[in-house]
């Protein structure tokens, strides 16, 4: 019988234009995608596994089949915990390294679906369109990614760049059946593995920019849509021992070019409405559910870096030094801070006007904003603990079966580990701190949620400062 994962892999052979090294590639057979596809297959197979189904899924009210818990609209604290457990299960399977396995985008969609009636005032078709899309995506296990940013061509604001010159995604024509779009969007993480792109602008638009103010669910195989991949960081399977993360978890990032792409009206969720788009971008349900997933994953990833640091410190006998203990203490502090914020967001959760039980966004926002400095700092700690050990490595694990093997076993060993285990440990760490994949992850954690500087400024603007003001008032 065809499994969910078989169906998923087959569904990627849908005529999509995925470009890598100047060629259109089939992601189901191109070796740069094989390792990651195997990881996604492993995750999808959980839906077929009796001991995992309930952990990662819930039964669709329409089909009675298990679907991903990211689609669960939480109506209680227990539902929220169920969502958290499923995110933990998926992120622990890749130690938090794969971040866009769709659970983030699916959570966004679930939030918009739950709050859909708020947007009827902007477009009476919105609630129906989002309901149809949500139910189809949920029951067909559709993968999707969110892509918001305009291409980085000219970020200056004065003078306002010409829309076409600036590469902005805009409606060029409308027909009875839908709209035609041209322009580009960056960055779409995991786009080659997705079925749909959820597209809307990141920045606030004004009334003069109506042709940019749209929210769409675009099928990735739309004619004229090009997924232009960055260089692949995937190590082939022969290198799995040397690059355990790059060989399995390269999600890929891409620039999406729309060259006169047709999108049918049922996939045009909102259009020509800057105010509606700004409200939907700021939607509390969507933001709370999506970033709840993001910080659960962040927690797993920070734990992973901490685990490596502890193991490395012991392996080279550096764990006896006070400053190394202090660094590991800081790593543990970071993990526990995020853990505490997740728990606080859940326990302080509240039911909104649509009976959705949402985690408290203040704690979620704080954890998300901390992540942009916590992760690079964690990587720095790891470097300071392992030092030159990340470079004192044989070129390949295969060297241990070569003629120098007895000598290598003597000189590559650690204080607590034999040479092969020590080498595996340091290669794992190098894949996180020194490989192209590892560098990409530092950039990812800094920027995936937007510019961290502007995110903190938003927190400053949106927080209630009255309490702080009152504290000082008595001195004035």
Site string for ligand FAD, 302-341 (x = CB under 6 A): ----------------------------------------
Among 1, 322, 453, 476, binds ligand FAD (CB under 6 A): 453
The beta strands (E) that lie in 189-251 are given as 196-199, 215-219, 225-229
Q: Which is nearer to ligand FAD, 146 or 181 (CB)?
A: 146
Binding to ligand FAD by residue 455, rule CB under 6 A?
no
Q: Which is nearer to ligand FAD, 115 or 255 (CB)?
A: 255
Binding to ligand FAD by residue 230, rule CB under 6 A?
no
Q: Is residue 344 helix, strand or coil?
A: helix
In 356-404, which residue ranges form alpha helices assigned H by DSSP? Answer: 361-386
Q: Tell me phi and psi for residue 55, to 5 degrees.
A: -70, -40
Binding to ligand FAD by residue 148, rule CB under 6 A?
yes
Among 29, 152, 237, 405, binds ligand FAD (CB under 6 A): 152
CB 111 → ligand FAD: shortest distance, Å? 16
Residue 58 host element (H or E): strand 57-59
The answer to whether the beta carbons of residues 247 and 263 sit under 8 Å apart is no
* CA triple 206-291-45, angle to 5 deg: 125
Among 145, 245, 270, 315, binds ligand FAD (CB under 6 A): 145
Q: Which is nearer to ligand FAD, 209 or 423 (CB)?
A: 209
Among 11, 442, 451, 455, binds ligand FAD (CB under 6 A): 451
CB 302 → ligand FAD: shortest distance, Å? 17
Question: Distance (Å, rounded) from C-alpha 98 to C-alpha 245?
Answer: 10
Q: Which is nearer to ligand FAD, 178 or 450 (CB)?
A: 450
Question: Distance (Å, rounded) from C-alpha 275 to C-alpha 451?
Answer: 22
Only one of the segments 139-147, 171-179, 294-302, 413-421 lies at the binding site for ligand FAD (rule: CB under 6 A); that segment is 139-147
Question: Distance (Å, rounded) from C-alpha 76 to C-alpha 356?
Answer: 7
Question: Distance (Å, rounded) from C-alpha 101 to C-alpha 199?
Answer: 17
Cis check: omega of the bond before 159, within 30 degrees of 0: yes
Residue 254: beta bridge partners? 229
Among 69, 189, 232, 300, binds ligand FAD (CB under 6 A): 189
The answer to whether the beta carbons of residues 399 and 196 sit under 8 Å apart is no
Site string for ligand FAD, 49-78 (x = CB under 6 A): ------------------------------
Q: Which is nearer to ligand FAD, 147 or 433 (CB)?
A: 147
Calculate the alpha carbon distances from 455 to 32, 163, 180, 467 in Å: 34, 25, 32, 22
Binding residues for ligand FAD, rule: CB under 6 A, are 100, 145-149, 152, 155, 187-189, 253, 440, 443-444, 447-448, 450-451, 453
């Amino acid at each position: 019988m065809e499994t969910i994962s078989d169906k998923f892999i087959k569904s990627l052979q849908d005529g999509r234009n995925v470009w890598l090294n100047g060629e259109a590639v089939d992601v189901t057979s191109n070796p740069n995608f094989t390792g990651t596809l195997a990881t996604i297959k492993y995750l999808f197979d959980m839906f077929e596994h009796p001991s995992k189904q309930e952990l990662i899924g819930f039964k669709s009210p329409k089909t009675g089949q298990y679907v991903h818990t990211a689609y669960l609209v939480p109506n209680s604290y227990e539902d929220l915990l169920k969502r958290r457990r499923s995110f933990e299960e998926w992120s622990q399977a890749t130690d938090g390294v794969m971040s866009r396995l769709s659970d983030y985008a699916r959570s966004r969609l679930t939030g918009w679906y739950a709050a859909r009636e708020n947007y009827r005032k902007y477009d009476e078709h919105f609630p129906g369109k989002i309901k149809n899309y949500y139910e189809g995506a949920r029951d067909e296990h559709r993968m999707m990614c969110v892509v918001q940013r305009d291409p980085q061509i000219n970020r200056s604001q004065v003078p306002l760049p010409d829309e076409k010159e600036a590469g902005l995604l805009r409606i060029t024509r409308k027909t009875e059946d839908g709209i035609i779009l041209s322009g580009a969007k960056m960055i779409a993480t995991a786009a080659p593995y997705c079925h749909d792109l959820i597209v809307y602008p990141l920045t606030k638009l004004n009334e003069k920019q109506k042709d940019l103010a749209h929210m769409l669910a675009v099928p990735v195989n739309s004619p004229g849509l090009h997924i232009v991949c960055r260089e692949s960081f995937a190590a082939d399977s022969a290198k799995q021992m040397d690059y355990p993360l790059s060989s399995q978890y390269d999600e890929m990032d891409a620039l999406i070019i729309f060259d006169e792409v047709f999108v049918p009206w049922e996939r045009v969720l909102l259009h020509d409405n800057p105010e509606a788009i700004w409200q939907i971008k700021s939607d509390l349900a969507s933001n709370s559910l999506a970033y709840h997933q993001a910080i659960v994953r962040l927690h797993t990833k920070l734990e992973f870096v901490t685990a490596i640091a502890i193991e490395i410190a012991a392996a080279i006998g550096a764990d006896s030094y006070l400053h190394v203990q202090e660094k590991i203490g800081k790593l543990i502090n970071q993990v526990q801070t995020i853990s505490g914020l997740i728990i606080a967001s859940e326990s302080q959760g509240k039911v909104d006007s649509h009976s959705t039980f949402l985690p408290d966004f203040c704690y979620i926002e704080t954890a998300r904003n901390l992540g942009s400095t916590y992760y690079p700092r964690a990587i720095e700690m790891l470097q300071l603990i392992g030092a030159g050990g990340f470079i004192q490595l044989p070129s390949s694990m295969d060297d241990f079966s070569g003629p120098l093997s007895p000598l290598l076993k003597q000189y590559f060993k650690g204080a607590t580990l034999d040479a092969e285990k020590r080498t595996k440990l340091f290669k794992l760490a190098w894949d996180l701190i020194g490989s192209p994949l590892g560098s990409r992850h530092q950039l990812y954690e800094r920027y995936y949620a937007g510019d961290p500087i502007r995110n903190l400024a938003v927190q400053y603007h949106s927080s209630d400062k009255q309490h702080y003001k009152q504290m000082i008032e008595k001195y004035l």
